Every structure is written in structure tokens, then in C-alpha cells.
Amino acid sequence: MDRRDQIVAACNRVKQLLLEKNDAYGDSALSPLNIFSQASAEYGIRNRIDDKLKRIKNAGLSDATEDTLLDLVGYLILLIIARDEGHDIQNHIRKERAASVNDNQSATSDTRWGITYDG
């Protein structure tokens, strides 16, 4: 197997994993239910990427953590899709801030941190 075939095979493994997980979890990464968390899709994916990187840092790379590498690549692909679809976290934060200020005329802001308090 030459390098090109190896690249295709590795990409196919990630593709298969992504498709299987998307079917199993109902597109939850890119279309979260937002029952407990109001985080955007991009923010949630970034958190999952951090979790995978932490697992690699703590457990190292071995045959036992190879699935973590595949998951990490998959989440990076989902992050690209989220950004392409406009799930950009900065836009999400700006929209939430604007809605919060507009919905609550008595809100006060801490401009140092970009936090709005209901009062």
C-alpha cells in the first residue's frame, strides 16, 4: 500500500466513524438539544476537542487510545462544518449579548468581561 492509499484508508476510517456516530447520536454535535446547556454547536465541539486532547495528554498515545485520535480528527471535521454553517462561537456570543440587552432594559453590563447582569 503506497502513501496515497494509506491516506485514503485513514480518511475512510474517520468518515465511517463520523457517519456511524452521527446516526447513533442523532446529529447532536451540530444540532444540540440545548436542554441543559445553551452552548452553540461550535462551543460544544471545541469542548469535546479539549476532552480528547486531555485524554491524549493523560493517557498518551497507544493502541488503547487510537480511538481517541479518530474521535479527535472527527471533531475537527465537525468543527469545520460548524464554522461553514455559521455556528461560529463569536457570532453566537454577540447575538446572545444583543438579545439579552434588548430583552432586559434594566440590565447592567460589566464591559471588562462582556457580562450582562439582570437587575
pLDDT number for residue 64: 86
Q: Which domain holds residue 25?
A: 3-87
46 occurs within a structural domain: yes
42 occurs within a structural domain: yes
Task: At 39, list the grid cell.
Answer: 452552548
Q: Which residues of 85-113 are buried (b: 16+ CB within 10 A; e: fewer)?
A: eebbbeebeeeeeeeeeeeeeeeeeeeee
70 occurs within a structural domain: yes
pLDDT tens column, 2-39: 999 999 999 999 999 999 999 999 999 999 999 999 88
113 occurs within a structural domain: no
Identify the helix (H) or strand (E) that includes residue 104: none
63 occurs within a structural domain: yes
**pTM assigned to the model:** 0.70
DSSP E strands in the chain: the ranges are: 108-110, 115-117
Domain count, the chain: 1
